[in-house]
Amino acid sequence: MLQLYIIAHLIFSVIQFLVGVLANGFIVVVNGTDLIRQRKMVPLDLLLCCLATSRIGLQMVTIYFNLVALSLIEFSPVPGNFIIFMYVHASEIWLATWLSVFYCAKIATIAHPLFFWLKLRISKLMPWLICGTLIYTFLTSVFHRKHAWIISQKSWLGFFSQNATTQIEDIPVLQFALLFIEFIMPLLIFLISALLLVFSLGRHTQQMRSTATGTRHPGMSVYISALLSILSFLVLYLSQYMMAALVLSQFFKIRNFIALFCILLFGSYPSVHSVILILGNPKLKQNAKKFLLHSKCCQ
């Protein structure tokens, strides 16, 4: 039974990897082609392109951990490799957080001067936020490389080794607090922006339903679709955080059914949400339809 699950897990992880790389690669190619043609890129396309690039790297890291968890390759605990994983993961988390903030600023309707100021300037701020995020995550990854490596030894070595008896030093409380704050800060920003957007869309949809008499309001389906998209984004984002927290807490042991499922769920976020982004973005959706029609014609 366990061998059957391992085979099924391998199949699903490979499918997940291929879907994630293809979907995010498609986003990069479409936006990159527009950049070459028009010599410019709108802030949302730039953000999606950077987010898709980081998710391709995250998918490669995830498939590596899947293969290690299934004992198909040997786990090599090298500090440099973990720094790369830390940088890719932190960049993806922050870029996804700014995507939520961008959606909230552009779509939500909140009567507050600060929110109105953000709505007018979010497009101009986005390139600076992306650049600042990439520099910030790189500096923090290098600055915390020693203490982050200690945490990784405690978590990953215990996770991937059934007979791990190596004594690992503890990290100072201050350093651990800083790592925890950096880990939780994008989550708090994401939750605030996502929940504000959900409440705003929900309130607006309710108002449209109450004013519509007899016939369905033509714009209601758009708001319901946007609401479902944001809710799926929220669920997937939170699930990734939960899986990362469980893995780092050494709660599970290798070859455990729940442990393998957590790794699979962790990798589903960057692939599934990228597909949702393509379906929810008119330009990406139109290009995807053209690509599928062209593929059918070639066949």
- What is the pTM for the complete model shown? 0.84
C-alpha–C-alpha distance, residues 184 and 94, integer Å: 11
Q: What is the chain's pLDDT, residue by residue, as a tens digit (299 residues)?
A: 557 777 888 888 899 999 999 999 999 999 988 888 888 888 889 999 999 999 999 899 888 878 877 777 776 666 566 778 788 888 988 999 999 899 888 888 888 888 888 888 998 999 999 999 999 998 887 776 666 656 565 555 555 555 544 444 555 666 667 777 887 888 899 889 888 888 887 777 777 767 755 555 555 555 566 666 777 778 878 877 777 666 666 555 545 666 677 777 778 888 888 888 888 888 888 888 887 777 667 66
Q: Which two tokens stand for residue 68?
A: 């290690």
